[in-house]
Amino acid sequence: MIDFRHQTFLKLCQIKNYTKTAEKLHITQPTVSQHIKHLEEYYGVKLFNYSSKKLNLTAAGKKLYHYTERMIADSRKIAQTISNKSPKQNIKFGATLSIGEFVMPDILNQAMTENPELNFDMLVENTATLLQKLKAGEINFAVLEGFFDKTKFGYHLFSQEKFIGICSADSNLSREKIKMDKLLDFRLILRENGSGTREILEQILYTNNLNPKSFTSTIEIGNLNAIKALVSENKGISFMYQAAAKRYLEANKISALKIKDFNIQREFNFIYLKDSVFAEEYLKYFELFINLRKK
């Protein structure tokens, strides 16, 4: 169990306002101040200072924030482990949509068949949400696409995956090699903001001096199967990982776009909180997943 004053400190770091922190925690503003003063006296350092009327963490405060996040996340894992009366091991982890729907099911099937004592709970969400859940200790680790701050997390490369453009198998686009700018007259079907797939596409467009608004029209859909269904019906084009499009490609419902100078691969990463006391345990699951995917 984490000292309640560390909980106050963490919330103040996130909100950066004493009064609003007090309201959020249902305590008084002087109580928030007392909690911070106690921590500063205990550690013998200043944790916050004001600059241009804004509350900022000191260098020592940033260090404490880093460790407090991990303490709180690890304390939740400890509580779950200690209170678990079942012989099964409960593992809570996250995966982004492409990975959760099209990579992990086969791996989890094999994992639970070969290791019946393991019980996996997988949360499928976008990259931004999973990072928040990880910091809060609501999941133990995540397998994700997209970008994250590698200085703040422990991580290992899970795989390198091909990123492709797709169109209907009936589209004229499926039969010719084209330049990226020739696609701008077609409707672009996008994932929602915060998804790894969208972040990667926007980065690719940016390197070509383009963005989603460069297309004649765009629509946002948060479900990959719905996107593939619309593309197969020639309602637009889209971009996604080849692993996510595999079955539709094999069924000849969609085709991979042949775009000049477009050969994109991106990382899938296994990530966990840096300096977690459970890092060694999490890496065992990383090795398990990697070995099962190779089978």
Q: What is the CATH number of the domain that holds 33?
A: 1.10.10.10
Based on the fold, state whether residues 73 and 152 are members of the same structural domain: no
Residue 95, pLDDT above cutoff 90: yes
- Residues 9-17: contacts with CB under 8 Å, at least 24 apart: 9/35, 9/36, 9/39, 9/47, 9/64, 9/65, 9/68, 10/65, 10/68, 10/69, 10/72, 12/36, 12/48, 12/55, 13/57, 13/61, 13/65, 13/68, 16/54, 16/55, 16/56, 17/55
Among 49, 80, 111, the domain boundary falls at 80
Given its phi and psi angles, is residue 245 left (phi above 0), alpha (psi -120 to 50 degrees) or beta?
Answer: alpha
The pLDDT, as a whole number, for residue 38 is: 92
Check whether residue 126 and residue 259 sit in a common domain: no
Phi/psi of residue 127, nearest 5 degrees: -55, -45
Q: Residue 3 is encoded by which pair of tokens?
A: 């000292």
| Domain CATH for 127 | 3.40.190.10
pLDDT score at 245: 95
Domain that holds residue 236: 161-264
The neighbour count for residue 295, using CB atoms within 10 Å, is 8
For residues 90 and 217, state if they share a domain: no
Q: What pLDDT was estimated at residue 20? A: 93
Domain count, the chain: 3
Query: What pLDDT, in 10s, does the model give residues 264-288?
Result: 999 999 999 888 888 899 999 999 9
Q: Are 155 and 282 part of one and the same domain?
A: yes
- Number of residues in the chain: 295
Contact present, 253 and 228 (Cβ < 8 Å): yes
1, pLDDT greater than 70? no
Distances (CA, A) of 39 to 48, 195, 256, 275: 11, 38, 57, 21
Query: Are residues 60 and 29 located together in one domain of the fold?
Result: yes
Residue 142 scores a pLDDT above 70: yes
**Same domain, residue pair 155 and 286:** yes
**Where does the pLDDT of residue 78 fall: very low under 50, low under 70, confident under 90, or very high at 90 and above?**
confident
Tens of pLDDT, residues 25-50: 999 999 999 999 999 998 999 999 98
Q: Are residues 119 and 73 in the same domain?
A: no
Q: Which residue among 59, 80, 101 closes a domain?
A: 80
Are residue 63 and residue 30 in the same domain, yes or no?
yes
Are residues 88 and 134 located together in one domain of the fold?
yes
**pLDDT confidence band for 234 (50 / 70 / 90):** very high
Q: What is the pTM of this model?
A: 0.71
